[in-house]
A and B are shown apart, each in its own frame.
Chain A
Amino acid sequence: MNRGYMGKILNVDLGAGTIGEEVISNEIYETYLSGMGLSAALLYKRIPAGADPLGPDNILGFVSGLLTGTGSFFTGRWMVVGKSPITGGWGDANCGGNFSPAIKRCGYDGIFFTGISEKPVYLSLKNGSAELCDARYLWGKDAVETEEILIDEAGGDAKVACIGPAGENLSYIAGISNDKGRLAARSGLGAVMGSKRLKAVVLSGATRIRAADSDEMKKLSKQCNKWVQFQPPFVSGPATAKVGALLRVMPTQMAQDGMLFKIILKKWGTACMNQMSIEMGDSPIKNWMGSNKNFGSKKSFATNPDAIIAREHIKYHCYSCPLGCGGVCSLEGEYSETHKPEYETVLALGGLCMNEDVESLFALNEALNRAGMDSISAGSTVAFAIECFERGILTKEETDGLELTWGNTEAIKILIQKMITREGVGDLFADGSKFAAKKIGNGSAQFAMHAGGQDLPMHDGRNDPGFALHYSVEPTPGRHTIGAQLYYEMFQLWKRVQALPKPAIFYHKNRKYEADEEKAIWAAACSKYVNVMNGAGLCLFGAFLGSKRLPLFDWLNAATGWDKTPEEYMEIGERIQTLRQAFNVKHGVKPTTFVVSDRALGREPLTEGANGHRSVDIEPMMRDYWRLFGWDENSGKPTEDVIR
């Protein structure tokens, strides 16, 4: 019977050089789904406690999603999983591009690597064959060049995931690239891949992926697509700044319907946020010390959405996405094109560092993609370095003569280049702000903006405390792609999961900051739902359409032949969350140490700007959240009986 998943994984021992298939039972998929759920179940058992994240006992997995290739939309996401060198606990990274269906077309739901190869290798999968090939000639090449060479050698028909120099240099802020610069960037898993001397995974399969009921899959997809294609005619890019300003000044807020986000996302991509987020207080500025007062709409005008897409010559769609928020932009200089810089990249290298030079944002975007380095962490670490220099904690001698001052574009570019190659002072910063602060000492730790070592994304919990909560409580801290109060509003889960509360349509801004139990209920729901999405291979932006328009639960039933209720799927989401947290505890991680940096909580509060005088009462929210999962509310550890 067709069930949407392939029923098999591939295990590769890079030390022994052996490759073997493993059948996974139907029961496992029904208990954990595929993708991240399957991974959590396997890695919890198989990575021994105390394993060195950069050692042979760590397992690095590349997993597709249960729905990938079954006829659903928005289900082209793949994930990398493994023990993170940043946190010492559960690590995962999520990416779009074209790699997800390729995994299943080789006959597997996931490929898992253990051990360390003596020499650089890449894995090549074709129909019916798997081979570890010599990659010494590729070592040192950037991720885009590597991919181009490997596709060419495969006769033009291959999908590639690979590391660049950052992963080879074991940078904790290295990720894994696919389709010329889409990145699985977080949790430092690029370093894990580098530690295994695994340069690339090259896939060329054509196995059919089959759903249990493909007619039903198509029916659901047709309906979903109608919502996606609804696209009214338009306002200008700079007008988004005015919308942000309106949200900033109005005491009355409105619960967001994700269709609004869909519309601006389809028009501009995440660049739609570039001005709006600063104006409304969503974007951290000047290493979280600044605000729209330091980087107002005049300064952000150069990155307004229309300016970004003026350079876009074609839209980019990840596999199975009908929306197409990506783009390919022209570049001048060394490289001719780059993936359209995302909001995170623009802010992390822009407003966060007070850098006003738009050209540098495009150039650094391509440099970081080719390096295989996370642009969020790169920007956050540079901002930290600048603050240290401005405060005199670092001298010019210690920075290789670089004047690391706010907005000094040239110094920023040079520092990032050095971080990629680990040259000179770059070595100090190549693992992110927390580890740099440890080495620098002198009270610099308070300026490192991270959660559990993961450099923070460009969403301010002082504007939406849900971000601060998820940064602090998730088994993977410091992530903006799991939950926020805004996300709970857009998921509209109450429309399918009856027990979940429906927020008021209009509410006073102050309500966002009240640490009542309902905030924890919203957050717990987001965590569970995203785990289901990550078991299915579904894109967060698809889920923002709302649970009635984006039929995740119905697609899952139609693909598998199951008959589960939304509540049962949320239970699976809860199970996956407990497993990821249990992984952390098994590996000696203390959940309470993931609390986000004080400054990001508004301790001390800013005195001006969109988030002036705002702070986040995080401790009760964290306790409520952990209690809702049945974990110890003070330590965040799952109790013995919760771990089935």
Chain B
Amino acid sequence: MSYTISDLCNGCGACMRLCPVDAITGEKKEKHHIVEELCIECGACGRICPEGAVINSEGQVCSTIKRSQWNKPRFDEKLCSSCNICIDACPVNCIGLSEARSAKDPHGYPYLREEKACIGCGFCADECPIDAVVMA
């Protein structure tokens, strides 16, 4: 499945610069294109597009959302088992593992190491088997 770009595209290139898997091609001011096999359906292009030109895998037009309002992961350390699944799931490698919490709890926990890099895809929350990550 893949996202697609409609004729509403104005070729601004914002989606192309943001795509975590380099799946978008296009010239300046010309309609851009998503390579189907590469798309991982993170939704970043849809959120950033100012023209509503991105259509998701279900055929719905994506709404523009101001980047500062995109959801970010919140990590619940009480539930977290430090298994690294969320860290590995992140397509932009923006989640890090902290230093050991304490002598009693010598495990590291996930945290947003690069908050600005987060594209709000929610894969971290999606893949956590025990609901220790929530997008908010």
Q: Which residues of A contact B (CB under 8 A)?
A: 69, 71-73, 76, 98, 101-102, 105, 127-128, 156-157, 206-208, 217-218, 221-222, 225, 228-229, 309, 312-315, 317-322, 324, 327
Q: Which residues does chain B contribute within 8 Å of A206, judged by CB atoms?
A: 20-21, 40, 91
How long is the Cα–Cα vector from A321 to B123 in the complex, in angstroms?
A: 18
Asked whether B8 is an interface residue with its Cβ less than 8 Å from the other chain, the reply is no
**In the complex the two chains form, is B130's CB within 8 Å of A222's CB?**
yes
**In the complex the two chains form, is B40's CB within 8 Å of A207's CB?**
yes
How long is the Cα–Cα vector from A313 to B99 in the complex, in angstroms?
A: 8
**In the complex the two chains form, is B82's CB within 8 Å of A317's CB?**
yes
Q: Which residues does chain A contribute within 8 Å of B84, judged by CB atoms?
A: 76, 98, 317-321
How long is the Cα–Cα vector from A221 to B132 in the complex, in angstroms?
A: 12
A127-B21, A157-B93, A228-B81 known; A324 vs B130 contact (CB < 8 Å) = no
**In the complex the two chains form, is B129's CB within 8 Å of A222's CB?**
yes
How long is the Cα–Cα vector from A309 to B130 in the complex, in angstroms?
A: 28
**Distance (whole angstroms) from the CB of A338 to the closest CB of chain B:** 16
A71-B129, A225-B129 known; A315 vs B83 contact (CB < 8 Å) = no
Grouping DSSP codes into helix (H, G, I), strand (E, B) and loop, the A interface class, with mixed when no group exceeds half, is loop
Closest to B97 in A: A314
**In the complex the two chains form, is A208's CB within 8 Å of B40's CB?**
yes
Q: Which residues does chain B contribute within 8 Å of A314, judged by CB atoms?
A: 99-100, 106-108
Asked whether B51 is an interface residue with its Cβ less than 8 Å from the other chain, the reply is no
Q: Which residues of B contact A (CB under 8 A)?
A: 20-23, 35, 37-38, 40-41, 81-85, 88, 91, 93, 99-100, 106-108, 123, 127, 129-131
Closest to B83 in A: A322
**Distance (whole angstroms) from the CB of B49 to the closest CB of chain A:** 20
Report 26 cross-chain contacts, Cβ distance below 8 Å, ordered by A residue: A69-B88, A71-B127, A71-B129, A76-B84, A101-B88, A105-B88, A127-B21, A128-B23, A128-B35, A157-B93, A206-B21, A206-B40, A206-B91, A218-B130, A221-B130, A222-B131, A229-B81, A309-B106, A312-B106, A314-B99, A314-B106, A315-B100, A317-B84, A317-B107, A321-B83, A322-B82
**In the complex the two chains form, is B129's CB within 8 Å of A218's CB?**
yes
How long is the Cα–Cα vector from A28 to B85 in the complex, in angstroms?
A: 28
Q: Which residues does chain A contribute within 8 Å of B40, judged by CB atoms?
A: 206-208
Closest to A209 in B: B127
Q: Which residues does chain A contribute within 8 Å of B131, judged by CB atoms?
A: 218, 222
**Distance (whole angstroms) from the CB of B98 to the closest CB of chain A:** 9
How long is the Cα–Cα vector from A222 to B40 in the complex, in angstroms?
A: 26
Q: A228-B81, A313-B106, A320-B85 are in contact. List 13 more A-B contacts (CB 8 A).
A: A76-B84, A102-B88, A127-B22, A218-B130, A218-B131, A225-B130, A314-B106, A317-B84, A319-B84, A319-B88, A322-B81, A322-B83, A327-B106
**Distance (whole angstroms) from the CB of B87 to the closest CB of chain A:** 9
How long is the Cα–Cα vector from A128 to B37 in the complex, in angstroms?
A: 8
A157-B93, A206-B91, A312-B106 known; A324 vs B129 contact (CB < 8 Å) = no
Q: Which residues does chain B contribute within 8 Å of A228, judged by CB atoms?
A: 81
Q: Which residues does chain B contribute within 8 Å of A69, judged by CB atoms?
A: 88, 127
How long is the Cα–Cα vector from A76 to B81 in the complex, in angstroms?
A: 15
**In the complex the two chains form, is B106's CB within 8 Å of A315's CB?**
yes
